[in-house]
Structure 1
Amino acid sequence: MAETHEVTLIGVCDGAIGDGKRYPLLYLTNKVGGLPDVLPVISWQYPSCVLCNGILAHVVQVYCPLEASLYHRTLHLLACPNPQCSSKSESWKVLRSQCLESEIKPSPELSPSPHSPGTEAPIAATDWCDGADDWGMEDEEESACLSDTTQTQVKTTEANLEPVMRTAELDVSGRLRDLCLGEREAIQLDIPTFSPFYVSVVEETDLVEPADLHHAQNLLKEYERREGVAVAELGTCDGGGDEKYEKTRARHGDAVFSRFMKKISLCPVQILRYCWNGSPLYISEPPSNMAQMVPVCARCGSSRTFELQLMPALVSLLRSKDCRSEMAGEFGTVLVYTCRNSCWTWGSTSPVEELIFIQQDPDQKLFK
């Protein structure tokens, strides 16, 4: 067998979400903004900001089942849309929801099963490592960061998904009615809502330098000129160039930020990085006691592991769905740590809160 290695998945915006008529919005959809599409067994309640007591807005929905797990698994990230709160970790929440395929009531005419809920195997839980290209395929718009091969894989996956979606539509009318009720409820309760976008994905190793990175290159050149350092000489992020990297410090001493800029330079429009049990890409020097700041899971006592992070390019997409100018999101990067065991009690209807950590952007103007 080939030696296992970390696989980092890069998420990019892949077009605005319409009215949901072409593709029903389910928990399988990876998206930015909108209302959360929760697993059918989950009872959803909007959390509030601990600083201003305002209702948190839904930021990102990620469908992310784990290898060898029988559970569907979804993460929802929420944040306070108040500009004074959104850059603080206390004003964010990440909620993990899970359920077995057998807990999702099938349509009787489609797949009657004699198995009991505790023994029926899941049908479509996708492994993030082996099934990376199945993440986010709804929109046909080409992304500037995708190679031709990856675009073909995404379109092929979309074609393969259509029969599944047509099957789901046979038993989805009730959920669509629930969705409409949710939208009305959101309006009545004045729930803040960011404009929704689909998310597409590519493995970071598949990124190729597109022809339209002129703007990104100009940003890097400006950064090099202002800080008196050549980003290209800062070494790699894989450890091989660490010594050279440490010797080539930016004028303001922020080598971590320089490394961050180099790492995202091939795809500066990336809005999300996913690597379960991987290493986060810090935008600034993390606290020296970072390990102590990531406590064990309060439910099972196991350690937490890094799973994903939101990137600065997402900030420009977080705008109010109804054009309320005071609603915005501000951050450098948002780091998410989850229970290594992804512990869950069968039959549970409440999401599990995981850990979120915000790093502010040390130089926000580079991303404008």
Structure 2
Amino acid sequence: MSIYSAEFMLDVIGAGATAKSTQDWRTVWRESCEFEEMQRQITDIHTTGRIHPPVQAAYTPTSWLYQMHVLLHRNTIAFWRDPTYIMSKMVLNAIGGLFIGVTFYHSADSQQGTLNKIFAVFIPTVLCVPMGGQIQVQFANMRSVYEIRERPSKMYHWSALVTAQILAEVPWGIIASSLLFCTWYWAVGFDTSRAGYTYLMLGVLYPLYTSTFSQAIAAMAPRAEIATVLFSPFVSFVIIFNGVLQPYALLGWWQWMYRLSPFTYLLEGIIGYAAGNSLLTCSPLEYVTIVPPEDRTCSEYMNLFISYAGGYLLDPTATSACSFCPFRTSEAYLESNFNIKYDNHWRDMGVFVGFIVFNIVMVYVLTYFFRIRSGSLLPSFLRRK
């Protein structure tokens, strides 16, 4: 029959209810060989510690790249296990693109048709509002896990988490915007030869801007609900002052806001390239009727004006009534009414990429100042004075 080890130990040292001990176990231990060996080991540890310099311990036990790799894998798996988030993003873009494409189905190359194409490009950018709200919820939830559980244990650096969150959104955003592009571009009636640049702007760069912009705003907020409130005025500024709802010529002294809106460059690039630099044919209702002097043809009467202002005549040889179209090309219509130029499309892409880079930098900066850094900024400013 086996003896219970705890009871045996208590009996040996005389600590049981009826046990008695005739030995002083403290003295036995201090006079034993085991005690001498332990003292020797302790002395060796102290001696070695005095000889070698102190070890500089890192903030985290693993490298930054390894942390980012593991966190990116975790975030990707988290998105994959959240079909509601993924499917809502896909359905929003696919149905939205299909609805816009059917609304402006095969827009003509007239003044009204060109205006329809402008709004066919503008309306998809408004989808950044619901998509931004979805992104901010995911960003805030993952950050809460870090702040509550993982930051105190110093499992990884906060910048690795931010990097993983930014990268994890990229493929899903591009896939969703690709669905938007496929259900929208050809339905509106844009030229297939110009699809490449348009896809690069709307299918790749636009979702990158939306995700980084939403995350930069969420970095300032403690919760997703507050991030949505902060997101509204910023996105309203971007949408209102991009030159479509408020054309550049009507802005007056507010034109500086037109230059600050990232969507100014997104829309000018897409509209100028996809709808510009092509012939424009006025519909019958868009012609302006002008009566020429007697014994003069429309061409003789209007040529000097047309050479200066542009446009064309439906029948240059007519003598009774001149049907005049103010614009010969879509380029002239876009530049005159919306300050959109075909030649600026590569410049617009570069500026828009600059806004994306700025958003990425602000995600890190705002995360540090609002969620990582402790203390107030006021004492630092006072010390400088």
By relative contact order (CA 8 Å, sep 6+), the higher-ranking structure is 1
TM-score, normalisation: structure 2: 0.24
Report which of the two has the higher share of helix. 2
Query: Whose radius of gyration is greater, 1 or 2?
Result: 2
TM-score, normalisation: structure 1: 0.25
